[in-house]
Amino acid sequence: MKLTKKLHSCVQLEKDGHVLVIDPGAFSEPDAGLGADALLVTHEHPDHFEEGRLRAALEANPAARLWTLRSVAERLSGAFPGRVHTVGEGDTFTAAGFEVQVHGQLHAVIHPDLPRVTNVGFLVEGSLFHPGDALTVPGVPVETLMLPVHAPWNKIGEIVDYVREVKPQRAVDIHDAYLADLARPVYDHVLGLLAGAPHLRLAAGETDSGR
């Protein structure tokens, strides 16, 4: 399974000629979802869910399907009947040949005065976990943890503890569009020193086949 990092929290996975894309949001490339056979969206916030990108991907490939939570599915199911699937914690499904398990229920707390939206994480092929905007611990072994390194709802100490709790074989940065290049070495140093798992940063468009 080949991983290609897209901008912010979007990632593309390829296996046996099939392509799966997770979270092609407004901070990802305009064509991030194009070419996908399957699309997964963790939650409704625009940096993870951009309706135009999903519509373009589904229109470009009539065989493509979308799996997501209800708040996103309701926006698209009418335009693509039978191709948009609603999922929640505990569900398992096959998306374009990829085996997927769903973990988690709610977005991380941004502030107590802001309501929490639903958020699900996706464990793909029993090896790569994308948590969306939450520090969900799937409770099963994880080879590659897509790690939300910088967000309005987290701090570096929480991210260190999250890696320690999940215990992946390695962590790969996502949710990094807010983070200035000047600060990246600070995050790299702290995670490398304290998290307890190898830490990898991929530039947008860079690929890796280490799973």
pLDDT of residue 42: 98
Q: How many CB atoms lie within 10 A of CB 12?
A: 21
DSSP string across 9-24: T-EEEEETTEEEEE--
Domain spans, the chain: 2-106+120-208
pTM, full prediction: 0.96
pLDDT of residue 210: 59
Q: Which residues fall within 8 angstroms of residue 120, CB to CB, at 6 or more apart?
A: 42, 43, 68, 69, 87, 88, 89, 102, 103, 104, 105, 132
What is the number of H-type helices and E-type strands within the chain?
A: 4, 14
Mean pLDDT of the chain: 96
Domain 2-106+120-208 has CATH 3.20.20.70: no
> Taking the chain (211 residues) in consecutive chunks of 10 residues, what is each chunk's mean pLDDT?
97 97 97 97 98 97 97 96 97 98 97 97 98 97 97 96 98 96 94 95 87 47
Note the pLDDT tens digit of each residue in 159-175: 999 999 999 999 999 99
CA distances from 206 to 199, 201, 211 (A): 15, 10, 15
